[in-house]
């Protein structure tokens, strides 16, 4: 569909503006002015919570008390957005600030597998560190937006969303409408990265007001709202202990994860998203004899936490890869060698964390990284740079990640609202054109050419007869949407299935078949290498070189794979070096503009070298695996280790993301003062 949400022509549409809480926790008293509040709006809560997830829904408008700065408290509307914002400013709310509430535990996942205690008793070395992953936000360049129109008993909802069918379900539930009475349409989407895979309070408000007012209603988020009140991610702290031998072999790992999920549980993923994915991703590419993990989601007076490219795997890979480098440093071993000694060697296998790894060759990934990067020469270059007083670091990461999550996995995480299914409907028009409708949606991944080529190849068609049409719940089959890198897994399988059904009908005009798939997770993997130089005066880290050796199984479309890896790496580098949705002690957000929330610009990202290794998946029909998140996840390990390696000669140890100049400076200061103290003790 041409144009992004804010570009849609909407004659007669009313523009919404929200009155938001300036307090992290406050009682809401009298509201004066032309505003609609929670009581008057009459929208129900989105029901959340399955196995083990405590229900703690995010209300459409705050009821009684506000729980984070930016929470929507009331809504106004006017003919133009400027007038609506004037109105919102004129609304007076009597807030009574409250003390912060004690954190509530909404979810916990534990893993206790293998001989953890025995390993720790026998190990020659034990290392313990606390790693923390900054609170961040996906920051798609296009903010959120929704346009709602209620006419003749039917609600039409245009939304910049990754999940049209889940949105339809959520709105139906909250507004007590039949799902069939709602049509969700998705225009061009200006990036999602997980942020647009939620049903948001503002969407419910816009839908309800369109029904009440009998006029189209539109809301376009501004960047401040986006930074304060959409979703954040990764506010995790990991206390990790590793037991290992003098040869660098890690025997067992214990990890305790505390995930700050903010003020409410998000729909549809719930508060289980970060802890559940992080728990099973800890040391998931390595051969352990014991693994014990406790991961829990706890509330705070901050923006709710949702999905951001890589989700909990980022935290797990960050902590795992940092720990391996610390082990290497502790033993005086090369980090690449430590990874080689610990990498899983025999796939397929099931990890202690429960990942059923379908295929991969992790030693070959490491071999490729070594040869393509010219690893030995690079270490010599580093030694020379260090002699010249440069802070020059090399970082590695070896990892796998889940893609194409299906129904059973969601149920096991307590997520009932995600069907986990992917579907495709194939129609043959009277003119003989083949129309492909999927349950996915285009958010910039540009999957249509791959779908088209698969169709032409399977049906033996000449080019030019295939149309792809997504993002319309009236014609597309129900399914999960576009996230967790499912395009090259379940969606592709569903397309192939539907094409086979259509083929059986000889593509006769009028053919109309649908295939729905419950995909099983498949695990792409990768080994990445980053080179970073930290300025010796300003401590600003600069990414100088990046190599990604990726294995996403059979490659359906080379260009898309490279684009996803490259863009993912750039995003991951930003998450390690720059991005932080910081809060002050009083719960006030410190990153409310793009001058405070920093993301990489062209000058920050070097050319990304990409190498492909192919271990076809025996599970997905095309042998392919998802690739949307691997770049980001790898960068969490590789870039972080490179920065840490750069400043290691100064005795500094980096544990807390992002690794910007302030944190680097603080770590160097700490190292210097503790050395001085030690010196004094020895001297005294």
Residue ranges that bind other proteins, judged by CB under 8 A: 3-4, 6-7, 80, 82, 139-143, 188-191, 193, 222-223, 443-446, 563, 566-567, 569-571, 593-595, 599, 601-603, 605, 607-608
Q: Answer for the pair 572, 631: CB distance below 8 angstroms, yes or no.
A: yes
Is the CB of 263 or the CB of 530 nearer to other proteins? 530
Q: Answer for the pair 345, 231: CB distance below 8 angstroms, yes or no.
A: no
Is the CB of 195 or the CB of 466 nearer to other proteins? 195
Collapsing DSSP states into helix, strand and coil, what is residue 647?
Answer: helix
Write the DSSP string, 250-289: EEEEEEEEEEEEESSB-TTT-TTHHHHHHHHHTTTTB--S
Is the CB of 44 or the CB of 190 nearer to other proteins? 190
Is the CB of 383 or the CB of 594 nearer to other proteins? 594
Cis peptide, bond prior to residue 38, ω within 30 of zero = no
Is the CB of 188 or the CB of 356 nearer to other proteins? 188
Shortest Å, Cβ 593 to other proteins: 5
DSSP H or E stretch at residue 349: strand 349-350
Is the CB of 230 or the CB of 320 nearer to other proteins? 230
Shortest Å, Cβ 547 to other proteins: 14
Shortest Å, Cβ 599 to other proteins: 6
Could you tell me which residues are beta bridge partners of residue 501?
none
Cis peptide, bond prior to residue 658, ω within 30 of zero = yes
Is the CB of 409 or the CB of 442 nearer to other proteins? 442
Residues in the chain: 684
Burial of residue 527 (number of CB atoms within 10 Å: 0-12, 13-18, 19+)? buried
Is the CB of 139 or the CB of 652 nearer to other proteins? 139
Is the CB of 28 or the CB of 397 nearer to other proteins? 397
Query: Which sign, positive or negative, has the C-alpha torsion 26, 32, 34, 39?
Result: positive
Is the CB of 572 or the CB of 637 nearer to other proteins? 572
The closest of 467, 459, 493, 9 to 216, measured between CA atoms, is 9
Q: Residue 320: what are its φ and ψ, rounded to 5°?
A: -60, -50
Is the CB of 126 or the CB of 605 nearer to other proteins? 605
Shortest Å, Cβ 646 to other proteins: 21
* Distance of alpha carbon 630 from alpha carbon 401, whole angstroms: 7
Q: Answer for the pair 488, 622: CB distance below 8 angstroms, yes or no.
A: yes
* Distance of alpha carbon 162 from alpha carbon 634, whole angstroms: 24
The CA distances from residue 122 to 111, 244, 245, 247, 289, in Å, are 21, 9, 9, 14, 12
Give long-range contacts, CB 8 A cutoff, 24+ apart: 365-368. Answer: 365/398, 365/525, 365/526, 365/527, 365/549, 365/551, 365/613, 366/336, 366/339, 366/340, 366/398, 366/527, 368/527, 368/549, 368/611, 368/613
Is the CB of 177 or the CB of 441 nearer to other proteins? 441
DSSP H or E stretch at residue 301: none
Q: Residue 382: what are its φ and ψ, rounded to 5°?
A: -65, -45
Is the CB of 309 or the CB of 339 nearer to other proteins? 309
Shortest Å, Cβ 11 to other proteins: 12
Shortest Å, Cβ 459 to other proteins: 25
Shortest Å, Cβ 605 to other proteins: 5
Q: Answer for the pair 16, 85: CB distance below 8 angstroms, yes or no.
A: no
Is the CB of 160 or the CB of 351 nearer to other proteins? 160
Is the CB of 137 or the CB of 208 nearer to other proteins? 137
DSSP H or E stretch at residue 8: none
CB atoms < 10 A from the CB of 505, how many? 13
Shortest Å, Cβ 617 to other proteins: 24
CB atoms < 10 A from the CB of 514, how many? 18
Task: Estimate the share of the chain in helix, then strand, then coil, as percent rounded to the nearest 5.
Answer: 35, 25, 40
Shortest Å, Cβ 202 to other proteins: 17
Query: Which ranges of 292-433 would DSSP assign to H, the alpha helix?
Result: 311-331, 335-342, 362-373, 375-387, 407-412
Shortest Å, Cβ 395 to other proteins: 18
Q: Answer for the pair 103, 56: CB distance below 8 angstroms, yes or no.
A: no
Shortest Å, Cβ 504 to other proteins: 35
Shortest Å, Cβ 418 to other proteins: 23
Shortest Å, Cβ 89 to other proteins: 13
The closest of 238, 135, 309 to 655, measured between CA atoms, is 238
Shortest Å, Cβ 141 to other proteins: 4
Shortest Å, Cβ 227 to other proteins: 9
Could you tell me which residues are beta bridge partners of residue 542?
533
Is the CB of 142 or the CB of 274 nearer to other proteins? 142
Shortest Å, Cβ 191 to other proteins: 4
């Amino acid at each position: 569909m041409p144009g992004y949400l804010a570009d849609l022509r909407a004659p007669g549409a009313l523009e919404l503006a929200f009155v938001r809480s300036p307090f992290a926790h406050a009682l809401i008293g009298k509201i004066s002015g032309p505003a609609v509040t929670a009581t008057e709006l009459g929208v129900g809560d989105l029901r959340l919570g399955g196995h083990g997830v405590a229900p703690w829904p995010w209300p459409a408008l705050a009821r009684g008390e506000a729980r984070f700065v930016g929470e929507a408290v009331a809504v106004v509307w006017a003919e133009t957005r400027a007038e609506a914002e004037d109105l919102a400013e004129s609304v007076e709310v009597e807030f009574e600030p409250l003390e912060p509430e004690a954190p509530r535990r909404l979810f916990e996942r534990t893993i206790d597998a293998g001989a953890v205690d025995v390993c720790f008793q026998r190990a020659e070395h034990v290392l313990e560190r606390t790693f923390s992953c900054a609170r961040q936000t996906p920051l798609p360049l296009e903010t959120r937006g929704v346009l709602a129109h209620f006419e003749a008993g039917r609600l039409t909802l245009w939304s910049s969303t990754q999940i049209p069918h889940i949105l339809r379900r959520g709105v139906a539930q909250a507004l007590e409408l039949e799902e069939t009475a709602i049509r969700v349409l998705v225009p061009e989407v200006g990036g999602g990265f997980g942020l647009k895979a939620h049903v948001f309070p503002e969407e419910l408000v816009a839908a309800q007001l369109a029904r009440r007012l009998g006029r189209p209603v539109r809301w376009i988020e501004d960047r401040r709202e986006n930074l304060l009140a959409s979703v954040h991610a990764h506010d995790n702290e990991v206390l990790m202990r590793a037991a290992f031998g003098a040869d660098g072999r890690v025997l067992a790992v214990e990890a305790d994860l505390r995930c700050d999920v903010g003020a409410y549980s998000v729909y549809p993923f719930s508060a289980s998203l970060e802890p559940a994915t992080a728990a099973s991703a800890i040391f998931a590419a390595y051969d352990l004899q014991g693994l014990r993990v406790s991961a829990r989601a706890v509330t705070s007076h901050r923006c709710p936490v949702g999905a951001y490219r890589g989700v909990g795997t980022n935290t797990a890979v960050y902590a795992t890869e940092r720990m391996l480098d610390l082990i290497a440093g502790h033993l005086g071993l090369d980090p690449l060698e430590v990874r080689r000694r610990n990498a899983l060697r025999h796939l397929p296998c099931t990890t202690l964390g429960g990942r059923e790894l379908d295929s991969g060759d992790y030693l070959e990934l490491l071999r490729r990284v070594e040869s393509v990067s010219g690893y030995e020469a690079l270490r010599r270059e580093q030694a020379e740079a260090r002699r010249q007083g440069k802070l020059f670091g090399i970082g590695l990461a070896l990892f796998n990640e889940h893609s194409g999550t299906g129904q059973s996995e969601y149920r096991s995480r307590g997520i009932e609202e995600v069907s986990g299914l992917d579907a495709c409907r194939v129609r043959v028009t009277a003119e003989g054109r083949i129309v492909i409708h999927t349950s996915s949606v285009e958010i910039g991944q540009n999957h249509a050419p791959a779908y088209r080529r698969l169709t032409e190849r399977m049906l033996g068609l000449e080019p030019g007869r295939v149309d792809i049409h997504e993002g319309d719940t009236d014609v597309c089959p129900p399914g999960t949407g576009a996230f967790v890198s499912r395009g090259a897994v379940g969606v592709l399988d569903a397309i192939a299935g539907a094409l086979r059904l259509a083929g059986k009908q000889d593509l006769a005009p009028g053919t109309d078949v649908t295939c729905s798939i419950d995909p099983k997770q498949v695990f792409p993997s990768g080994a990445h290498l980053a080179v970073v130089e930290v300025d010796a005066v300003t401590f600003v880290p600069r990414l100088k070189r990046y190599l990604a050796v990726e294995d996403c199984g059979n490659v359906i479309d080379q260009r898309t794979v490279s684009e996803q890896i490259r863009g993912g790496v750039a995003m991951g580098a930003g998450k390690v070096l720059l991005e932080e949705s910081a809060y002050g002690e009083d719960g006030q957000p410190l990153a409310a503009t793009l001058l405070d929330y920093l993301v990489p610009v062209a000058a920050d990202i070097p050319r990304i070298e990409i190498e492909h290794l192919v271990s076809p998946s025996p599970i997905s029909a095309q042998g392919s695996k998802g690739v949307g998140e691997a770049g980001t996840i790898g960068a969490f390990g590789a870039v972080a280790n490179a920065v840490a390696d750069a400043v290691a000669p100064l005795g500094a140890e980096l544990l807390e993301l992002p690794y910007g100049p302030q944190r680097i400076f603080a770590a160097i200061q700490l190292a210097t003062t503790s050395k001085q103290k030690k010196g004094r003790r020895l001297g005294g």
